[in-house]
Amino acid sequence: MAQRDLSLIIVGVAYPNRDGGNRQFEVAMCTPGEPVTLVPEPTNKADPAAVAVYSCRGVQIGYLSAERCVWIGGKLRQGQEMKAIFQEGSSRRAVIRLNLDGHDPALPLVRSGAAMPAADVSTMASDPDSGF
């Protein structure tokens, strides 16, 4: 069976954490391949389906987009094992790689020897490795 990996954009990177922590700084500290943790927030007043994303140092870097929270958060609440790693980031957003089967996700291949521009969402959306 083929491995089911998805690249997911993390939103809210520009906002500070409740404890005053700086998400942008934490994203800058992350390196591709580091594990990240997904945490459903059913008591989140803005969105009970929200899923927060934490770095391997336990600092929140943002949230899954609203389009993905309901589906992925529901699977997490049902106990489905998923693994996620940091893929890339910039001062405005981050991208993680998620495996839906509980396996270690693989970072997408870099094409033509050049890294994918961090701010180019259109390139990522058309990338067949993105999972979408």
pLDDT digits (tens, 9 = 90+) for 19-47: 988 999 999 999 999 999 999 999 999 99
**41 inside domain:** yes
From CA 32, how far away is CA 28, in angstroms rounded? 11
**103 inside domain:** no
pLDDT digits (tens, 9 = 90+) for 70-117: 999 999 999 999 999 999 998 888 999 999 999 999 999 876 555 544
Question: For position 26, which CATH number holds?
Answer: 3.30.70.2330
How many domains, the chain?
1
From CA 39, how far away is CA 116, in angstroms rounded? 28
pLDDT band with cut points at 50, 70 and 90 for residue 8: very high
Domain that holds residue 27: 18-94
**124 inside domain:** no
From CA 127, how far away is CA 132, in angstroms rounded? 8
**29 inside domain:** yes
| DSSP structure string for 62-120 | EEE-HHHHHHHHHHHHTT---EEEEEEE-SS-EEEEEETTSSPP-PPPPSTTSPPPTT-
Mean pLDDT of the chain: 85
**90 inside domain:** yes
**72 inside domain:** yes
**105 inside domain:** no
**11 inside domain:** no
